[in-house]
Every structure is written in structure tokens, then in C-alpha cells.
Structure 1
Amino acid sequence: MPTPRMWNHGAMSASDDVLATDLAHVFHSWSAQDKVNPMVIDSAEGSWLTAADGKRYLDFSSQLVFTNIGHGHPKVVEAIANQAAKLCTLAPAHASQAKSGAARRVAEIAPGDLDSVFFTNGGAEATEHAVRMARQFTGRNKILSRYRSYHGATSTAITITGDERRFPNDLGTMGTVHFFGPFLYRSVFDSQTEEQECERALKHLEQTIVMEGPSTIAAVMLESIPGTAGIMVPPAGYLAGVRALCDTYGLVLILDEVMAGFGRAGSWLALDHFDVVPDLMTFAKGVTSGYVPLGGVAISKKIRDFFGERPYPGGLTYSGHPLACAAAVATIDVMREEGIVEQAAALGTDVFGPGLAKIAENHPSVGEVRGIGAFWALDLVSDPQTKAPITPEALAATVGAAKQAGLMPFSSGNRIHVVPACNISPEDARTGLDILDSALTAADDAIG
């Protein structure tokens, strides 16, 4: 049995004590526990973080892509404090102004007749309940989802996830089937154009549906724009084609807006770019800018009515928690009042699109730049011809160089994602791109 780590708290600075206590008692996600070395963050404001040693970092990660309105927005902080003073917590069976107000605002943003909202504590639970609703509604079990996707880390959500994080947790797929989605840069369909990729991906999905048996399938679940798997904006017509296939074969369509929604893609929802209405829509992250955990499922009328006279077999102790819902109300109101969705769209067209294209021209390690709004990825390669992904060591060196220069990047797989607050100033955005430009020399050095 390992010997417990002991710390002399009295002999340390405050920040050293925080770190020592963290290492002694906090179990970190997705990590080998003896290898973690977390940065101690003391405070944050806007697009900037301040570490315990006083060094400031420009947050190009929005943490885990959720601080869409930046850190510490005073109106949202005030709304949370006011709600805590009035009604800090409440069982989900009761109604409250915060919960009804948050549900109404989500319904206003959601397309079509997605007018009912079931609140969860985050995105993974939203996946769990959307899948449960689809299975109950159809009386079928299978869920189809794409490779290169992420839908959460609870037991059902992780099996629906299509990337390698699924492997250690997959218990025989638990009724899930994966298929290939469109991704022209690394096409499995040997496509030469976006149009070919769209057509072939839809044909592949239909073949999968037929071979699996439509009568066994409850739903197709997709991220409107896949996030941590690579920020792959689907080609025109793809999501509409998936909607048509679901209608043809009687399947529920679930769209995951957890990361791509609430301004991130330069629209209220990423699906707004594709003129498609799902039957169920999951959300989380940006709905509160991460200030208080909240997620949920927006539900179409036909599925809501299915549970009109029969109980829905699910619930959560903190569903519709007043503090979280107050944060959602304030966040959505701030986004409307300050035009934050429009700011994200402008950042994409005026700053990130052209700025990242220039960076790609200067660095052979950047195989492709792709994205929209405040949602971008640099696909880093060790060989521009074969598109072989960059090595983990070279990626770590690049991320390290960025941090050393005062930039907090987001990395996933062989990529660096540019995902700052949706209201980051153009000046700060360009500062971040300049730092990233310099840091990418470490990636270039890894090319033989």
C-alpha cells in the first residue's frame, strides 16, 4: 500500500499549501494521479487568469470551453448572490422563478417545438436522459453515434462517445453503434470535395441503419459540431440529410449542443447554421458560462406529450437548482444585452479566420485550420504530406511554450483548439494568436 504523502503546512507559502493539499487529497480526472501538477489559480476576470504566483494568463481555453461570457461577469455574479440570499436551494418538484425563467429562455433559443426543458447538472447527465427519453419513446434500445465524438463520461454517455476515451470504459457498447461522420481532411470515404464527403457519409449512415435494423434503433445522436474530437464543421446538407434519414426510418434525432451552443459557433446554437430541428437537444457549459453547473434536454412536443399521461422514469436531486437556473437567466440576458453571439461571429470572420490562416501558411506543422465563430482547431502534423499526427512530445513542447509566454491553450489529441471567451476583445484575441504563432515553432522543429 502506498505511503500517504505528508506535508508541513506551516513551512509553506499559501500557494504551496494549496498545491500540496490538492495533491494529497484531490483525485484528478483523466489523469495518472502521481503525474499531475496542477497550476494554482488565484483569480480570474474577463479573458484573463491570475495564478497564485501573480503571473497572468490569457485564457484561450475558456477552461473546458464553457466560460463563453468570460470570467466574473458582474451581472451574473450579482444574480447568483441575489438568488442565494432569496432561495438557495429547492427540490425539483417545486416551481421557482429562476427555473421557469431559465426554461423559457432555453425554449426561446431552441428551434421548432422544443418547448419543454428537463434540467440536469451537466452535459453527461443530459446525454443520459436524452437517450433514456428516446428509448422510452421508441421502445427500442440502440443508439447510433459517430466516431470522433464526445458526449460525456457517465456510463451511457461514454459508450456513445466515439473517441478513444471510450475504450477503458466500454462494456460491450451497451446498445450503441458507431459510424463515420464527414471529415474531409482525414476522409475515410476517399472524398475530394465537401460535396462528395457529405454524400458518401450519408450513404454510409443509411447503410449502417439498414444493416443494424431500423426496428432496433431508438436514435441517432450527433454533436452539431464535434468539439473535443476536432471541431469539424459538417458540410452543407449533412445534418439535414441525417434529419431526413431519421424521418424515413422512424428514428429520434438527438443533437448535442453542450460545447458548440450558446454563442460558441457564432450563433445561439450551432445547429442554427444548418436549418435543422432535432427531436431532443442537449445543452450545458455556456448556458451558465460555467459559473454554476447546469445542463439539460430541450424536448419536442411529441416526446413531451408521450410522457403526458405516463411518468417519466428519471430524475435528479438538483434538477432545476435555483442558483444554477439564476445563473442561466443572467447569462442569457447578458448575452442578449451585450450582443455576445454577434461578437463571436465577428471574431470568427474578422480575427480568427484570417489570423489562423496566416499562421497555417507560416508553419508546416499546421496541417489544417478549421472552425467558426470562437470555435477553432489547428490540426498539427509531423508530416504535411502523410498528415501523420504530431507526436505527444512535440505537442507538449508547443503547449509549454505557449504557457511560458502567458497563454492558456486548449489541446486535445494532436490539436490545439482556439476557444476563448466569445466576447474576448479583438486586441486580446490577436495577442493570443501572436503567442500561438511563436509557440508553434516547437511543433515545426519536430518535422524531420
Structure 2
Amino acid sequence: MTTVTGPNTPADAAGTGGAELDARTTELDREHVFHSWSAQGGLSLLPIAGGHGTTVWDHAGRRYLDFSSQLVNVNIGHQHPAVVAAIHEQAATLTTIGPATANLTRGLAAQRIASRAPEGFNKVFFTNGGADAIENAIRMARLHTGRDKVVSTYRSYHGNTGGAVVATGDWRRIPNEYARGHVHVFGPYLYRSEFWATTPEEECERALRHLRRVVECEGPGSVAAILLETIPGTAGVLVPPPGYLQGVRAIADEFGIMLILDEVMAGFGRAGEWFALDAHDVVPDLIAFAKGVNSGYVPVGGVVISDAVARTFDDRVFPGGLTYSGHPLAAASIVAALDAMESEGIVAHAKQIGADVIGPGLAELADRHPVVGEVRGTGVFWAIELVADRATREPLSAALIGRAKGELVSRGLLPFIADNRIHVVPPCVVTSDEVAQALATYDEVLSLLDKEL
């Protein structure tokens, strides 16, 4: 890995001063920062000083190609000048104002978001991130229906607040189960089917049958909402089979249940669409968003509310709110990010590069490397599922996954690793040359893993 400098790199980046700053950054982190989802004692984290586009670097000038988009949120890339300028301009005008006011920038942000939603969505409730977007979507569904239960999938992640983490299906739910009224089902995942399915059609039909039976057994009149990630992300980039989301919509309609689609990770270009739901011909009742709406430049999330649900609160107080709901710095970053994504064709680019470059490149790796069980995805939202045995589909061990992560980082690529998978999730602005560089790096590391089988 070469040592070079780039935009926003500290002046002393390439010299001893840069190395000292990296050491100081690491020291302060270990002494004073408590990190999420981690045992604190063994942490050794990369110091990151700056970034631009798809690349980040430390104080000493070591550069890394960011194929994690951090937490799959930096869709527009690091330090997009239009978004940075908008934040500066808003800070010079009005840094903060309470939510019990009308603010032009906030209104423009809500307008931009609603214009990308299906017809019949005109209101946006702003939150501080994705988890509290899910919390408030659940609250709206419960108040609108007068019911309590929320059905979500085992293979899911919805956030780390009280209700969102219990709606989550993965291991993080289990030590945090304090919220009431949550029920889980299996969603479609043909590679590891829970339904003995052998085709996408069978997987879709049987997953829908399973969902229906759970709703019936729970009592349809007690179910407020079905909550799904449009494309489950951390759970494995599980693109639903054709007809599945439409089938869920039909079950929800039959029983008077709200459909909440979690677009926190999948939305705003990640799946090659403004909303991932656009590719599935489905209209939910509530849409949760965050991450890519402004690429995380300022913390923000929210709920796009269908007109029918919004009308529930025309003459009834909505019992929820946040001090920073619709914060003007966040709102300014949303307006600038969405305008730049439109004017620069970033969403269309994400769709094209996924179909023409990333997808074929990953398929070629899968053909050559026995350690790859399956690749799947769309847009700039892909997963490489790694196995110890293709015949049995036994997941690759945690030790070898850890080695893969270390080898990728040592070669200058920041990966997103989840369970036995490498998620290929670069910013939407990634170039063909950068994809080629990443594919070559994956190729090297997969070859090392092949030798361990």
C-alpha cells in the first residue's frame, strides 16, 4: 500500500507528525471512547483523518478504498463539495432551531424526500437516525390501527433503540428484549431456504404462506404492522424474489395491517433506485429512511407517511417528538445531497455499475473460487457469501472471516463484514476502475481462503 496525500490531508500527513497523530488518535480512542457492539478490551481501530469520494486516509497518508461506505451510508461519497458547502451556508445562517417552528430548509428537505416516494405520500416526520425512524413508524402504525403486535423477520436489523432492536431478528435482539408485542417470521432466502424450496417461485410462495399462517395464529386483529427491510442489508443483502413484497402487501390489506418498509440502508441509490421499493411494484403505508438520504454527513432519519396515516393525526395529537427533529444542518445536507444525486445522475450510475461491472465481476470470482457459495445483490448493494464447503453450504469459520478482513485492510480496502459474508457496498459514485481495483483485491484474498479449505 503506497503512502500518498490527498484532499483534506493534514499538512504533515506524510511525515513523522502524521504517525504521531495516528498514535495519539488511537490512544485517545482506547482511553475514552466506548464503542458499539464490541468487547472494549481488545479493540484496535484504524485512525481515519480524512476522505474524498470513495477513499479515506489516516494522518500518515495511508489510503484505503472504502468499500463499506462506512456503515453502508456514505452513498454520495466522502466530502461531496455541494453537501459540505450547504452545511457551511446553513451554519452561517441558522445553526439550529426547534421543531415547533416552520423552517424553509426543513420544508425543502421534506418536499425533496416526499417527491421520491410513491403517490399519496406528502408528509415527512424527521428523526435523528434510522432506529428512531423505526420506533416512530411502529408508533404511528399502532396508533392508526389501535392494535399492538408487529411482525418482522428473523433475518433483519432495524436499529438499537428499545422497539427497533426487538423488531430486529439477529443476535442483537436477544440481550435487549424489553419491548412488547413483537413477533418474528422467516423471510425468503433461497440459498439457505427454511422452506425446502429449490426455485425462487417456491421460496416466494412458501414464505408468504408461512407469513400468513403466523398472522392468522397471532390473531390478525391484534397485528398493527408488518415491518420489513425492502432488501435486508446486514442480514445478507437478501433481494426478495419477484412477487414477495406484493404478496406481503396483499396479506396486509386483507387483514387491515399496516406495511412498514425499512429503507434505511436500501434507499437513496444503494439498490440502484431512489427507493428500493421502486423495483418491486409495492406501495407501503410508511417508509423509514436515514443513511443515504444525506450520506450521514449530519445525523438524520425519518418516516415518509402515507396520506391515510397522516390524516389520523389531523385532529389527534401525535405523541412523539425529538429536540432535533428536522435540524436545519441536517435538512440542508439532505437538500444538497438529493439535488446533487439528481443533477449528477448518481442513482442511475449506481444501477448501471451494479448491473454492468460489479455483478459480472463478482460472478466471475464466484466461478473461480470454491470458498464463494453465492453472490447476490443489485446496484451498489452486494454480498459474497463464503462457505467452507459448497456442497453442504457450511459457513466459513469466524477465524477465517477475521483473517479475510485483516488481509483486505492490509491491501488498502475497507470491507463491510457480517457473519460469513463480505458485503460489497461502495459509495454510489464508485468508478469502474475502482471496482476493478477492489475485485483484484477480493481475488487475492479469496485465493488465500481457497487454500484453507
- Could you tell me the TM-score, scaled by structure 2's length? 0.95
Q: Secondary structure at the match of 1:242?
A: helix
Whole-angstrom CA distance in 2 between matches of 1:261 and 1:88:
27
Equivalence for 1:60? 67
Whole-angstrom CA distance in 2 between matches of 1:53 and 1:410:
23
Whole-angstrom CA distance in 1 between matches of 2:396 and 2:181:
34
Q: How far did 1:131 drift?
A: 0.3
Residue pairs, 1:228-243, within 5 angstroms? 228-243=234-249
From 112, 129, 134, the equivalent of 2:141 is: 134
Structure 1, residues 197-227: CA drift from partner, whole Å, max 9, x if none?
0000001100000000011110000000000
Contact 2:22/2:58 (8 A) holds in 1: no
Q: How far did 1:14 drift?
A: 2.0
Whole-angstrom CA distance in 2 between matches of 1:309 and 1:361:
59
Whole-angstrom CA distance in 1 between matches of 2:60 and 2:388:
35
Query: Which segments of 5 or more consecutive residues in structure 1 lack a partner in the other structure?
Result: 1-9
Q: Secondary structure at the match of 1:376?
A: strand
Whole-angstrom CA distance in 1 between matches of 2:444 and 2:177:
40
From 3, 12, 25, the equivalent of 1:18 is: 25
From 187, 190, 199, the equivalent of 1:193 is: 199
Whole-angstrom CA distance in 1 between matches of 2:362 and 2:196:
26
Q: Once superposed, which parts of structure 1, at least 4 consecutive aligned residues long, lie more than 2 Å away? A: none
Q: How far did 1:439 drift?
A: 1.0
Equivalence for 2:251? 245
Residue pairs, 1:11-50, within 5 angstroms? 13-50=20-57
Q: How far did 1:362 drift?
A: 1.2
Whole-angstrom CA distance in 2 between matches of 1:64 and 1:302:
33
Structure 1, residues 322-359: CA drift from partner, whole Å, max 9, x if none?
00000000000000000000100111111111000000
Equivalence for 1:402? 408
- Could you tell me the TM-score, scaled by structure 1's length? 0.96
Equivalence for 1:263? 269
Q: In the alignment, does 2:347 pair up with 1:315?
A: no
From 215, 218, 222, the equivalent of 2:224 is: 218
Whole-angstrom CA distance in 1 between matches of 2:37 and 2:75:
23
Whole-angstrom CA distance in 2 between matches of 1:54 and 1:104:
40
Structure 1, residues 356-392: CA drift from partner, whole Å, max 9, x if none?
0000011111100000000000011111111111101
Whole-angstrom CA distance in 2 between matches of 1:91 and 1:54:
40
Residues paired across the two proteins, number: 436
Q: How far did 1:274 drift?
A: 0.4
Whole-angstrom CA distance in 1 between matches of 2:374 and 2:173:
26
Contact 1:390/1:443 (8 A) holds in 2: no
From 292, 295, 305, the equivalent of 2:301 is: 295
Q: How far did 1:184 drift?
A: 0.4
Structure 1 letter corresponding to 2:381? F
Whole-angstrom CA distance in 1 between matches of 2:22 and 2:370:
40
Equivalence for 2:10? none
Contact 1:394/1:442 (8 A) holds in 2: no
Whole-angstrom CA distance in 2 between matches of 1:381 and 1:154:
32
Residue pairs, 1:117-156, within 5 angstroms? 117-156=124-163
Structure 1 letter corresponding to 2:228? L
Structure 1, residues 123-152: CA drift from partner, whole Å, max 9, x if none?
000000000001111111100001100000
Q: How far did 1:168 drift?
A: 1.4
Q: How far did 1:233 drift?
A: 0.3
Whole-angstrom CA distance in 2 between matches of 1:76 and 1:414:
35
Q: How far did 1:284 drift?
A: 0.1
Equivalence for 1:99? 106
Q: How far did 1:38 drift?
A: 1.0
Contact 1:150/1:229 (8 A) holds in 2: yes
Structure 2 letter corresponding to 1:417? H
Query: Percent of aligned pairs with the same residue?
Result: 54
Structure 1 letter corresponding to 2:61? G
Contact 2:152/2:228 (8 A) holds in 1: yes
Whole-angstrom CA distance in 2 between matches of 1:233 and 1:114:
24
Q: Secondary structure at the match of 1:144?
A: strand
From 144, 153, 170, the equivalent of 1:163 is: 170
Structure 1 letter corresponding to 2:341? M
Q: How far did 1:247 drift?
A: 0.3
Q: In the alignment, does 2:443 pair up with 1:437?
A: yes
Equivalence for 2:285? 279
Contact 1:356/1:369 (8 A) holds in 2: yes
Structure 2 letter corresponding to 1:94? T
Contact 1:214/1:249 (8 A) holds in 2: yes
Whole-angstrom CA distance in 1 between matches of 2:275 and 2:448:
35
Equivalence for 1:205? 211
Equivalence for 2:396? 390
Equivalence for 1:254? 260
Q: How far did 1:444 drift?
A: 1.7
Structure 1, residues 389-426: CA drift from partner, whole Å, max 9, x if none?
11011011111111111111110011000000001111
Contact 2:134/2:164 (8 A) holds in 1: yes
Q: How far did 1:53 drift?
A: 2.5
Structure 1, residues 163-191: CA drift from partner, whole Å, max 9, x if none?
112111123x6210000111100001000
Structure 1, residues 236-261: CA drift from partner, whole Å, max 9, x if none?
00000000100000000000000000
Q: In the alignment, does 2:187 pair up with 1:181?
A: yes
Whole-angstrom CA distance in 2 between matches of 1:403 and 1:198:
37
Whole-angstrom CA distance in 2 between matches of 1:360 and 1:308:
53
Q: In the alignment, does 2:374 pair up with 1:368?
A: yes
Structure 2 letter corresponding to 1:297? V
Equivalence for 2:6? none
